[in-house]
Structure 1
Amino acid sequence: MAKVYQDGSCLHSVDLSQVTEPYDLPIKSGDKNNTLRVEAGRLRMVSANCPDQTCVHMGWSTGQPIICLPHKLVIEFTDAGTDALAG
Protein backbone atom coordinates (compact mmCIF):
# COMPACT_ATOMS: atom_id res chain seq x y z
CA MET A 1 0.00 0.00 0.00
CA ALA A 2 1.00 3.57 -0.58
CA LYS A 3 -0.69 6.48 1.17
CA VAL A 4 -0.51 10.06 0.00
CA TYR A 5 -0.59 12.69 2.76
CA GLN A 6 -0.67 16.46 2.47
CA ASP A 7 -0.55 18.65 5.57
CA GLY A 8 -1.01 15.44 7.61
CA SER A 9 -4.30 14.43 5.93
CA CYS A 10 -4.54 11.24 3.89
CA LEU A 11 -5.65 12.17 0.36
CA HIS A 12 -5.24 8.81 -1.40
CA SER A 13 -4.55 5.16 -0.63
CA VAL A 14 -3.21 2.98 -3.43
CA ASP A 15 -2.91 -0.81 -3.29
CA LEU A 16 0.12 -1.22 -5.54
CA SER A 17 -0.44 -4.97 -5.84
CA GLN A 18 -3.76 -4.27 -7.59
CA VAL A 19 -2.42 -1.87 -10.23
CA THR A 20 -2.68 -3.47 -13.67
CA GLU A 21 -2.12 -0.41 -15.88
CA PRO A 22 0.19 2.54 -15.12
CA TYR A 23 -1.58 5.83 -14.43
CA ASP A 24 -0.87 9.37 -13.26
CA LEU A 25 -2.39 10.69 -10.06
CA PRO A 26 -2.61 14.50 -9.96
CA ILE A 27 -2.29 16.05 -6.50
CA LYS A 28 -3.42 19.66 -6.31
CA SER A 29 -3.89 22.03 -3.41
CA GLY A 30 -4.25 25.70 -4.27
CA ASP A 31 -1.23 26.59 -6.38
CA LYS A 32 0.66 23.41 -5.32
CA ASN A 33 0.71 20.85 -8.14
CA ASN A 34 2.32 17.41 -8.18
CA THR A 35 1.82 14.40 -10.43
CA LEU A 36 2.51 10.92 -9.10
CA ARG A 37 3.04 8.06 -11.57
CA VAL A 38 1.63 4.78 -10.26
CA GLU A 39 2.71 1.38 -11.56
CA ALA A 40 2.43 -2.13 -10.15
CA GLY A 41 4.63 -2.18 -7.04
CA ARG A 42 6.22 1.26 -7.49
CA LEU A 43 5.68 5.02 -7.60
CA ARG A 44 7.52 8.15 -8.69
CA MET A 45 6.86 11.86 -8.74
CA VAL A 46 6.95 12.84 -12.40
CA SER A 47 6.25 16.55 -11.98
CA ALA A 48 5.95 19.21 -9.32
CA ASN A 49 5.85 22.98 -9.41
CA CYS A 50 7.99 23.27 -6.27
CA PRO A 51 11.26 25.18 -6.53
CA ASP A 52 13.77 22.43 -5.67
CA GLN A 53 12.35 19.41 -7.62
CA THR A 54 13.90 17.01 -5.07
CA CYS A 55 10.80 14.79 -5.14
CA VAL A 56 10.99 14.51 -8.95
CA HIS A 57 14.71 13.68 -8.90
CA MET A 58 14.17 10.85 -6.38
CA GLY A 59 13.03 8.55 -9.21
CA TRP A 60 11.13 5.30 -8.69
CA SER A 61 10.41 4.10 -5.18
CA THR A 62 9.28 0.68 -4.04
CA GLY A 63 9.43 1.39 -0.32
CA GLN A 64 11.28 4.60 0.48
CA PRO A 65 9.02 7.57 1.24
CA ILE A 66 8.68 10.28 -1.39
CA ILE A 67 8.60 13.76 0.11
CA CYS A 68 7.85 17.16 -1.40
CA LEU A 69 8.72 19.37 1.54
CA PRO A 70 7.65 22.71 -0.04
CA HIS A 71 4.16 21.26 -0.68
CA LYS A 72 3.97 19.38 2.65
CA LEU A 73 3.38 16.18 0.67
CA VAL A 74 4.46 12.71 1.87
CA ILE A 75 3.97 9.37 0.15
CA GLU A 76 4.46 6.52 2.63
CA PHE A 77 4.57 2.81 1.89
CA THR A 78 2.69 0.66 4.41
CA ASP A 79 1.39 -2.84 4.85
CA ALA A 80 -2.26 -3.16 3.86
CA GLY A 81 -4.48 -1.88 6.67
CA THR A 82 -1.63 -0.09 8.47
CA ASP A 83 -1.29 3.66 8.83
CA ALA A 84 2.43 4.47 9.12
CA LEU A 85 1.95 8.10 10.18
CA ALA A 86 -0.53 7.22 12.91
CA GLY A 87 2.01 4.82 14.38
Structure 2
Amino acid sequence: MKMNRQKKNTLLLLAAVLLISALSWTVYGFGTGAFQKKETKTVEVQVDGSRYGRYPLDQDTEFEIKCINGHVHFIIKDGKAAITESTCPDKVCVHTGWISQSGELIVCLPNQVVVTVL
Protein backbone atom coordinates (compact mmCIF):
# COMPACT_ATOMS: atom_id res chain seq x y z
CA MET A 1 0.00 0.00 0.00
CA LYS A 2 2.85 2.37 0.84
CA MET A 3 4.49 1.74 -2.54
CA ASN A 4 1.29 2.64 -4.37
CA ARG A 5 0.97 5.91 -2.45
CA GLN A 6 4.62 6.81 -3.21
CA LYS A 7 4.14 5.90 -6.87
CA LYS A 8 0.95 8.00 -7.00
CA ASN A 9 2.74 11.00 -5.45
CA THR A 10 5.61 10.64 -7.92
CA LEU A 11 3.19 10.56 -10.85
CA LEU A 12 1.33 13.61 -9.53
CA LEU A 13 4.60 15.49 -9.10
CA LEU A 14 5.70 14.53 -12.61
CA ALA A 15 2.34 15.62 -14.05
CA ALA A 16 2.57 18.95 -12.21
CA VAL A 17 6.10 19.59 -13.52
CA LEU A 18 5.04 18.76 -17.08
CA LEU A 19 1.97 21.00 -16.80
CA ILE A 20 4.01 23.93 -15.47
CA SER A 21 6.61 23.42 -18.22
CA ALA A 22 3.95 23.34 -20.94
CA LEU A 23 2.25 26.46 -19.59
CA SER A 24 5.55 28.31 -19.30
CA TRP A 25 6.50 27.39 -22.86
CA THR A 26 3.09 28.49 -24.16
CA VAL A 27 3.13 31.82 -22.31
CA TYR A 28 6.70 32.50 -23.45
CA GLY A 29 5.88 31.60 -27.06
CA PHE A 30 2.84 33.84 -27.29
CA GLY A 31 4.52 36.61 -25.32
CA THR A 32 7.52 36.80 -27.63
CA GLY A 33 5.55 36.25 -30.83
CA ALA A 34 7.29 32.95 -31.56
CA PHE A 35 3.97 31.39 -32.60
CA GLN A 36 2.88 34.27 -34.79
CA LYS A 37 3.29 34.25 -38.55
CA LYS A 38 6.33 36.28 -39.52
CA GLU A 39 5.54 39.03 -41.98
CA THR A 40 8.09 39.89 -44.61
CA LYS A 41 9.54 43.33 -44.01
CA THR A 42 9.44 45.75 -46.89
CA VAL A 43 11.23 48.94 -47.78
CA GLU A 44 9.47 51.93 -49.23
CA VAL A 45 11.41 54.19 -51.56
CA GLN A 46 10.23 57.78 -51.99
CA VAL A 47 11.59 60.17 -54.59
CA ASP A 48 10.74 63.88 -54.41
CA GLY A 49 8.02 63.15 -51.80
CA SER A 50 6.18 60.56 -53.91
CA ARG A 51 6.24 56.81 -53.48
CA TYR A 52 8.61 55.28 -56.02
CA GLY A 53 7.95 51.70 -54.91
CA ARG A 54 7.80 49.09 -52.16
CA TYR A 55 10.12 46.12 -52.19
CA PRO A 56 10.27 43.00 -49.96
CA LEU A 57 13.52 42.59 -48.06
CA ASP A 58 13.52 38.84 -48.69
CA GLN A 59 14.02 39.26 -52.47
CA ASP A 60 17.45 40.41 -53.62
CA THR A 61 17.34 43.20 -56.20
CA GLU A 62 19.24 46.27 -57.34
CA PHE A 63 18.49 49.19 -59.60
CA GLU A 64 19.25 52.82 -60.39
CA ILE A 65 16.89 55.54 -59.26
CA LYS A 66 17.02 58.58 -61.52
CA CYS A 67 16.48 61.80 -59.61
CA ILE A 68 16.32 65.51 -60.37
CA ASN A 69 19.98 66.04 -59.40
CA GLY A 70 21.43 62.73 -60.59
CA HIS A 71 20.92 59.15 -59.49
CA VAL A 72 21.34 56.67 -56.64
CA HIS A 73 22.15 52.97 -56.84
CA PHE A 74 19.80 50.98 -54.57
CA ILE A 75 20.40 47.36 -53.45
CA ILE A 76 18.44 44.80 -51.43
CA LYS A 77 20.54 41.79 -50.46
CA ASP A 78 20.33 39.20 -47.67
CA GLY A 79 17.37 40.94 -46.02
CA LYS A 80 19.04 44.38 -45.91
CA ALA A 81 18.80 47.51 -48.06
CA ALA A 82 21.39 50.15 -48.92
CA ILE A 83 22.23 52.97 -51.26
CA THR A 84 25.69 52.03 -52.51
CA GLU A 85 26.33 54.86 -54.95
CA SER A 86 25.02 58.40 -55.32
CA THR A 87 25.76 61.55 -57.26
CA CYS A 88 25.24 63.72 -54.16
CA PRO A 89 28.31 65.61 -52.86
CA ASP A 90 28.52 64.40 -49.23
CA LYS A 91 27.41 60.76 -49.76
CA VAL A 92 25.67 60.65 -46.35
CA CYS A 93 23.18 58.19 -47.85
CA VAL A 94 25.98 55.85 -48.94
CA HIS A 95 27.72 56.09 -45.56
CA THR A 96 24.47 55.23 -43.74
CA GLY A 97 25.12 51.63 -44.75
CA TRP A 98 22.70 48.72 -44.61
CA ILE A 99 19.29 48.95 -42.95
CA SER A 100 16.93 46.10 -42.02
CA GLN A 101 14.99 47.01 -38.86
CA SER A 102 11.54 48.61 -38.89
CA GLY A 103 11.77 52.39 -38.72
CA GLU A 104 15.35 52.65 -40.02
CA LEU A 105 15.85 54.92 -42.98
CA ILE A 106 18.33 56.23 -45.49
CA VAL A 107 17.99 59.83 -46.67
CA CYS A 108 19.66 61.45 -49.67
CA LEU A 109 18.66 65.10 -49.35
CA PRO A 110 20.23 66.47 -52.58
CA ASN A 111 18.57 63.73 -54.66
CA GLN A 112 15.38 63.82 -52.54
CA VAL A 113 15.36 60.05 -51.93
CA VAL A 114 14.12 58.44 -48.72
CA VAL A 115 14.30 54.68 -48.08
CA THR A 116 12.34 53.42 -45.04
CA VAL A 117 12.03 49.90 -43.60
CA LEU A 118 8.36 49.26 -42.82
**Structure 1 length-normalised TM:** 0.78
CA distance in 2 between partners of 1:14 and 1:72 (Å): 18
Aligned residues: 75
Amino acid at match of 1:14: Y
CA distance in 2 between partners of 1:6 and 1:31 (Å): 11
Unaligned runs of 5+ in 1: 79-87
Identity across the alignment (%): 28
Match of 1:51 among 69, 89, 94: 89
1:70 aligns with 2:105: no
Ranked by relative contact order (alpha carbons within 8 Å, sequence separation 6 or more), the top structure is 1
For each residue in 1:8-31, what CA deviation from the matched residue of structure 2 results, as whole angstroms up to 9, or x when unmatched?
A: 1011110113x1xx3322100244
Secondary structure of residue in 1 paired with 2:97: coil
**Which structure has the larger Rg over C-alpha atoms?**
2
Name which of structure 1's ranges 47-56 and 7-16 shifts more when overlaid on structure 2.
7-16
Which residue of structure 2 aligns with residue 23 of structure 1? 61
Task: Extract structure 1 runs of 4+ deviating beyond 3 A.
Answer: none
CA distance in 1 between partners of 2:52 and 2:109 (Å): 16
Which has the larger strand fraction? 1
Unaligned runs of 5+ in 2: 1-41
Amino acid at match of 2:57: L
Which has the larger helix fraction? 2
CA distance in 2 between partners of 1:11 and 1:51 (Å): 22
CA RMSD of aligned residues (A): 1.3
Which residue of structure 1 aligns with residue 43 of structure 2? 2
**Structure 2 length-normalised TM:** 0.59
